[in-house]
Every structure is written in C-alpha cells, then in structure tokens.
Structure 1
Amino acid sequence: MMKRVLLIMLCGTFLSCTVQQLKFAKREASALSGSQFSKSIADTSLTLETREQIIFEEIKNGNVPDFFRKLATIDVTQTINGKLYHLSYQVAPDYLLIGNDEDFFYTPTTPMLAQKIANLSKAMLPTKKMVDDIYANSLIKLAPQPIPPSKLMTTVPVFIAHNNIVIKQLDSLKKRHLRSELTAGNKKDIIISNKIYGQPTPRVVIYGWHKLDGKAIQPVYNKHTNTWADYSHGVRLVLNDAILNGKKVRLADILKDPVLHVLLSDEGVIANATYPIAN
C-alpha cells in the first residue's frame, strides 16, 4: 500500500512538472521596461478603465519578465474519508509584473482585470487556503511594507512608491528571485471566495500579506466594490490544470466538489471560482 501511495505522489509530481511556463506571448525587445511602463500610466487624466486596458494589452503582448513565466509547484497531501489524496498545482513565482528581468513593475489591478489576465493565461486566482499554502511553500519571504492609508492609495504614484520599496527589499535576493524562487509577503492577494457574490454589487475579496511569523495582516475582506485596486493588491496566477493522484484535473472542478474542495478551500464549496468581468 505504501509503495502505491509513493508511486501516486511521484507520478503526480512528475506530471505537474510537464507544464513549466505561463503561456504568455514572447516579449518584444522594444517593449517598455517596468519603470517606463509605470510612468506611462501615471497620467492622472487616465480613467481606471483606460489604465486597465493599457495594462491588459501589455500582458497580452507578453511584456512580462522571463523569470515570472516559470512556475512553482505546490503539493497538498490530505486524507479525506480514509483515502489519501495528493494534489499538485502550479503557481506564478511572484505577483503580476510588467517589464523585464532587470526592471519590472508590480501591477495592482481590479479583480475584473485580474480575472481577464487569469483567463488569458489559462489560470485562476487563489483561495484563502491556497494563499496560506503558497506562503508556507515560498522560499523568499518578504516582510510586508504598508504605506499609511489615504485617498491616494489607489493612484499610480503610490503604486510606484510601494513597488520601489519591494524592489529595494529584493536587492540582496536578486539572484534567487531571478531564478524564479517562489516569493510572498510583498502583497495582499485578490482571492477567489464565496464573498465575491451575494451583494448588489460584486466585491473584490482580499486576504494575506503574511508577516514573517506567518500571520496574515489582512483577514478576508470584501467591503470594497470590484472597481477597487490599491497599491497593496497583488495578482497571483495559479494554473487551472493540476494533478490529483496521478490524474489531470481542473482546480475549479475540485472547488465545486462536495468532498475534495477541502484540498483548496477552508470556506466550503466554491461553485463559482471566477470574478465577473464587465462587458
């Protein structure tokens, strides 16, 4: 029995490693660097909708660093109703970035844009439990660096200020970061949750920003509408295709399962693992 379990686990891990890269377009040599891009969207006359369309076009055109494309594997092993399950899924090594390996920009978005980018890359956003598991597995853990809340926290200049703080934190870890080592603690996550729905206006649900002691600064929170995006928000992409006991599955299907959802969710079944996207 033990040999069979080990075989399943090894098989799952092996198969999960067959998808190594986020499937973005090839980055053009003429694409903007992170600092160039952040300056280009800092124009205060840009509407949120225009800014997010510009961000989406950059991502669609492949303007992301090479190291951001390489995925990290999260393994979850749990016994459910007397049966051992081993799930392997793959996540981006850091939060959404625009630019190149030497000059990149952490790019906060609304959940609507985060979902569009996830759809583009055949990915989903994480649940609260997944955020905890990703943090536990991260090799680079950064101490959160909050900026005092203000009316400016949703503006690009504050995005840039926080980006520069995180970049400075990474200075001594640059070689490891460029090797795509899983990184966390630098942003809150936009998460998948049942709390997105059930109110007159869909919500953005955020969670995380773990301190070095492993405790999250931000509990699950859904008081902002889905047009909210502030400097602290990060977009973590999680490939929807995964391996469960050696077989290919979709994470969205596991979240719907009345038994297996506990592998990914600690808030029960999540039947709709997406954010609504405005037309």
Structure 2
Amino acid sequence: MRYFLVFAFLISPFFCSAQRLHIAKRNITSKSGLEFSKSIRDSTISIDLREKIIFSEVRSGNIPEFYRKLIEIRDTVLINNKNNTIKYFVLPDFLAIGNDDDYFYCPMRPQLAQKVADLLKCSLPTRKISNRIYQNAAVKMVPQPIPPSKAMITVPIFEKHNSMVQEQRKNTLSQFPNGSLTAGNKKDVVISNKTYNDKGLLRVVIYGWHKPDGKAIQPLYNGHSTIHVDYSHGIRFVQNKVWVNGKKTSIQKILKSEILHPLLSDEGVIAKPYYPVGLY
C-alpha cells in the first residue's frame, strides 16, 4: 500500500508536467505541409470548403508529432492579499498541418479555431496568456510582416510567410529543437471582451506578434469581421484544464470568476470566453 501511495503521488496531475494533446495518431500516409497547402491553393476553393478541409485534417490527426506534448506555463498573482499560483499547458507553436519536417501554419476564422479547440479540449488564449507565452518562450522569433495587400488573405501568401518563418526557425533548431516553446512568428487570435463590437457584431480579435523587446506589434484589435483571415493570424491552443493552488479547474471557470480572473485575464472578467461555433 505504501508503494501504491507513492506512485499515485508522483503521477497526480499537479506534479505531472507531461500533458499531451487529445488528438488522433497521425497516419503516415497523411499529407505533408506542402502537399496540403497545394491542395487548398486553388482560388476557386471557397473559404467554407477550405475550412472544412482543414478541420478534417486536424480531426484525422494530421499535425506534427512535436505539437502533441504541451508546454507548462506558471504564473502567480496577488489577489486579496494572497498569492495564487496557476499552472496551464499550451501548444509549443501555432497550429500547423503536416509532419515534423514539413508543416504548414493554418490561419483560420475564429469560429473554426473554436471548433478545433473544442475538439481538442482546449481554449484560445487571452491577451494575458499570449504575453505569458512570449515571456516563457525558448525561441523568440523576430516578426516578419509582409506589406498589406489584397493578396494577404490568399493561400500563396500564407505559403510565402510559412517559408519565411521556417527559414528563420532553422537558425535555432540545433539549440532549440521542434517542440520548444516558440513565439513571435504570428499574431494570436484571442478570446476577449472585444469579441463583439459596440454594435453587437461578432469580430475576430487579434493580438501580439511580439518584438524582441517584448512589445506587441498588434494591440488588442477587433476591427475585422470574422470573414477576415490573413497570413499573420496564428492559432495557439491552451488546454482547458488548469491548476490553481494545486486544485484542478478550467480556463472558462477562471475567466468567469469575479475573484480569480486576474490569473488569466488583464481585461477583467470574460463572461463569454469562446467564439460562437453555432454560427459557423
């Protein structure tokens, strides 16, 4: 019995740092990143069809193996004169389709991002989480904007930026292999109190693209409708289950809490910490 108790202690969630993504095993016949991007490059493919294809690939497990091991983030916040510590787990990089050697970052509408998050038992980040990820990142990449144009919402520009990011990433692979926490390569699509604008219209909220000095190029912004998807949008997931002072709870409960929301939000309580998949 004594040995059983010791073993149970060692594998309890609070002490175990090896959290993994809930997703199907990748089939070796699945498309590589380049093969996938070519399959959706045709300009006659609507965004609706493109996103159905993206969802199908993710659901089948066609993401790199190194994405499956999540990275631990910790934070401590003084609330009501008491230090409260939170632990949560995030994807090591923005979501991509393909294999470890050939993968394609997938910008998408926030409704699809939420649908994928629900599938993977995850959440999109808040602005505060985005900042914490950058602060903790082993690989802090230098943002590489492409001049604005009508083409920025097209797959060829997605591919161009994908190549730019991966070319820069090669310089750090020997020291920080794939699976290391990486940031600075995309903006975050985030959950926020700005998900609906002053007229009650649903918007995509973006934030981040941190520079080496830690400052974000993109302030919290909801100027685009959810139909707008450009090359700079990154989809980063955070596991729903979190631990506060050693007790398991969820991101959604924390963000809705009048007391504990500062652990994950710098906007106050976020009463609707999600995008409405029902409209998608």
TM-score by length of 2: 0.93
Instruction: Give yes or no for contact 1:16–1:243 (8 Å, CA) kept in 2.
Output: no
Which residue matches 1:3? Answer: none
Q: Does 1:136 align with 2:135?
A: yes
What is the CA distance between 1:219 and its match in structure 2? 0.5
Residues of 2 paired with 1:141 and 1:218: CA distance?
A: 16
Amino acid at match of 1:230: D
What is the CA distance between 1:79 and its match in structure 2? 1.5
Which residue matches 2:267? Answer: 267
Which residue matches 1:158? Answer: 157
Q: Does 1:241 align with 2:241?
A: yes
Which residue matches 1:172? Answer: 171
Instruction: Give yes or no for contact 1:16–1:89 (8 Å, CA) kept in 2.
Output: no
Structural mapping, 1:1-279, within 5 Å: 15=14, 17=16, 20-176=19-175, 178-198=177-197, 199-277=199-277, 278-279=279-280
Instruction: Give yes or no for contact 1:16–1:90 (8 Å, CA) kept in 2.
Output: no
Instruction: Give yes or no for contact 1:98–1:105 (8 Å, CA) kept in 2.
Output: yes
SS in 2 for 1:236: coil
Residues of 1 paired with 2:83 and 2:30: CA distance?
A: 47
What is the CA distance between 1:200 and its match in structure 2? 4.1
Deviations 1:130-173 (A, max 9, x none): 10011000000000000000011000000000000001001122
Change (3 A) 1:135 1:239: same
Change (3 A) 1:32 1:184: same
Backbone CA RMSD of aligned residues = 1.8
Deviations 1:184-232 (A, max 9, x none): 0000000010100243430000000000010100001101011111000
Residues of 2 paired with 1:179 and 1:228: CA distance?
A: 29
SS in 2 for 1:194: coil
SS in 1 for 2:152: coil
Instruction: Give yes or no for contact 1:140–1:181 (8 Å, CA) kept in 2.
Output: yes
Residues of 2 paired with 1:18 and 1:76: CA distance?
A: 15
Residues of 2 paired with 1:196 and 1:17: CA distance?
A: 34
SS in 2 for 1:254: helix
Instruction: Give yes or no for contact 1:139–1:181 (8 Å, CA) kept in 2.
Output: yes
SS in 2 for 1:20: coil
What is the CA distance between 1:19 and its match in structure 2? 5.3
Residues of 2 paired with 1:257 and 1:19: CA distance?
A: 27
Instruction: Give yes or no for contact 1:16–1:88 (8 Å, CA) kept in 2.
Output: no
Residues of 2 paired with 1:263 and 1:276: CA distance?
A: 24
Residues of 1 paired with 2:15 and 2:132: CA distance?
A: 17
Deviations 1:52-83 (A, max 9, x none): 00000000000000001111011011121111
What is the CA distance between 1:259 and its match in structure 2? 1.3
SS in 1 for 2:89: strand
Identity %: 51
Residues of 1 paired with 2:186 and 2:176: CA distance?
A: 15
What is the CA distance between 1:178 and its match in structure 2? 3.8
Amino acid at match of 2:70: L
Unaligned 5+ residue runs, structure 1?
A: 1-10
SS in 2 for 1:196: coil
Amino acid at match of 2:92: P
Residues of 1 paired with 2:227 and 2:178: CA distance?
A: 34
Change (3 A) 1:162 1:174: same
Amino acid at match of 2:93: D
Change (3 A) 1:175 1:27: farther
